[in-house]
Amino acid sequence: MAESNIPYAQSVGDIERKLAKHPRIGETIIEGFLLFAGLISIAVTVGIVFVLVKDALKFFALPDVTLANFLTDTIWQPQIGHFGVMSLLTATLMVSFIGMLVALPLGLATAIYLSEYASNRARNTIKPILEVLAGIPTVVYGYFALTFMTPFLRTFFGNDTVQIYNVASAGIVVGILIIPLVASLSEDALHAVPTALRQAAYGLGATKLETSLRVVVPGALSGITAAFVVAISRAVGETMIVSIAAGAGPNLSWNPFEAAETMTGYMVRISGGDLSYDSVDYQSIFAVGLVVFLMTLVLNIVSQRIVRRFREAYE
């Protein structure tokens, strides 16, 4: 019996040696390159945050600047000692809110149509058009808001009501800008819902609309919500449209037809002028940028929590 086990043991040893991991130079190089790329990305992100926080802290270290008046003061004129970011924050929230009123329903409706109703021919036609919209430079959207959307609003509401530079036109065009983002991410989430759920709803007598709204959309709720939050972050960080169409001066007003400057618009306007290093205006850019960064960071954290909370696992 012992002699008969020797060839078997040898064959098992040979198989184990053949299955053992052998170093492959090509795969090792690729793995090292991917690791290097990831580390570079992390290092760049950390560097950006470090520079942003460092210069923002210099702004808050100024004698007349406190966190209280930065958050509560209604006037933003750093040159003359008024450091209230509220006027910039208000304009940013208004533009984002108007953009969401445009983008979320239209983007979700487009996603539902592409996922549940459109034929392959229609889907292959509409999706490239959405990609073209996403690829248009935002400066073009800005001049579109100024030369088309503003005259359009003034035709309906009157020249005395709608100013040439106004928050409404900028918000509407920001919404148009992010429709492809909402539609694409939401369509992917809807498409991931198993076909078996749709067939089960049809078997119970549900119509296509009832299946779409009561079965498919709830099943893709986590992905749709994540798409909405990402779109809001995109609207908050939009720069060129608001800097061209919304206005170039801080204005604490809730009237969307008046001119107002957003946080990103202020950063573009100030950085485009002659600034001396370590001046109040120079440091105020980083303080405002830190607020934008924190807003988008909070939105991304909320998005991840929502996705984990409402994620559906299908077998």
What is the 3 state secondary structure string of 33-55? HHHHHHHHHHHHHHHHHHHHHHH
Average of per-residue pLDDT across 227-237 = 88
Average pLDDT of the segment spanning 276-295: 84
* 86 within some domain: yes
Q: Is residue 83 a part of any domain in this protein?
A: yes
Question: What is the residue range of 131's domain?
Answer: 71-310
Please tell me the number of Cα atoms within 13 Å of 19 on its side-chain side. Answer: 6
Last residue of a domain, one of 15, 41, 61: 61
Looking from the CA of 253 toward its CB, the CA atoms found within 13 Å total: 15
The pLDDT tens digits of the residues spanning 22-43 come to 667 778 888 889 999 999 999 9
Question: What pLDDT digit, counting tens, does each position of 42-57 carry?
Answer: 999 899 889 888 888 8
Distance CA 169, CA 101 (A): 13
pLDDT at 7: 58
Q: Are residues 79 and 219 in the same domain?
A: yes
Q: Which helix (H) or strand (E) holds 123?
A: helix 120-135
Determine, yes or no, domain membership for 305.
yes
State the average pLDDT over residues 233-256. 87
Average pLDDT over residues 128-142: 86
Tell whether 181 and 37 lie within a shared domain: no
17 pLDDT more than 90: no
Shared domain for 263 and 188, answered yes or no, is yes
Identify whether residues 77 and 57 lie together within a single domain: no
Structure tokens belonging to residue 176: 């148009």
Q: Does any domain span residue 24?
A: yes
* pLDDT for 10 beyond 70: no
Average pLDDT of the chain is 84
Q: Is 195 contained in some domain?
A: yes
Q: Is residue 66 part of a domain?
A: no
* Three-class DSSP labels, 254-306: CCCCCCCCCHHHHHHHHHCCCCCCCCHHHHHHHHHHHHHHHHHHHHHHHHHHH
Q: How confident is the model at residue 1 (pLDDT cuts 50, 70, 90)?
A: very low
- For residue 310, what pLDDT is reported? 66
Instruction: Check whether residue 196 and residue 235 sit in a common domain.
Output: yes
Say which residue the tokens 């002659």 belong to. 274
Last residue of some domain: 15, 30, 61? 61
Per the structure, the count of domains in the chain is: 2
Same domain, residue pair 26 and 78 = no
Q: How confident is the model at residue 312 (pLDDT cuts 50, 70, 90)?
A: low
Query: What 3-state DSSP class applies to 239?
Result: coil
Q: Is residue 261 domain-shared with residue 298, that is, in the same domain?
A: yes
* Residue 315 is assigned to a structural domain of this protein: no
pLDDT at residue number 273 = 65
Residue 223 lies in a domain: yes
Position 215 confidence tier, pLDDT thresholds 50, 70, 90: confident
Residues 176 and 53 in one domain: no
CATH code of the domain in which 200 resides:
1.10.3720.10
Residue pair 290/56 in contact (Cβ under 8 Å)? The answer is yes
Judgement on whether residues 174 and 262 belong to the same structural domain of the protein: yes
Residue 287's Cβ-side half-sphere holds a number of Cα atoms within 13 Å equal to: 27
What's the longest Cα–Cα distance across the chain? 105
Q: Which of 43, 103, 129 is nearest to 234 (CA)?
A: 103
Encoded tokens for 83: 């450091």
- Write out the E strands in the chain: 76-77, 82-83
Q: What is the pLDDT of residue 2?
A: 47
Are 98 and 44 in a shared domain?
no
Residues 275-291, mean pLDDT to the nearest whole number = 82
- Which of 87-101, 118-132, 195-209 is modeled with the greatest confidence? 87-101
Q: Give the pLDDT confidence of 67-113 residue by residue, as tens digits.
A: 888 888 888 888 777 788 888 899 999 999 999 999 999 999 999 99
Going by the DSSP 8-state scheme, the letter that residue 146 receives in this structure is: I
Task: Say if residue 7 is in the same domain as residue 126.
Answer: no
Q: Residue 233: count other Cβ atoms within 10 Å of its Cβ.
A: 22
pLDDT band at 174 (very low <50, low <70, confident <90, very high): very high
Residues 88, 43 share a domain: no
In the structure, what pLDDT confidence band is assigned to residue 11 with cuts at 50, 70 and 90?
Answer: low
Q: Give the C-alpha separation, 135 to 177, whole Å.
A: 9
| pLDDT reading at 233 higher than 80 | yes
Taking the C-alpha atoms of residue 114 and residue 112, their distance in angstroms, rounded to an integer, is 6
Q: Which of 13-27, 86-100, 159-173, 230-244 has the lowest mean pLDDT?
A: 13-27
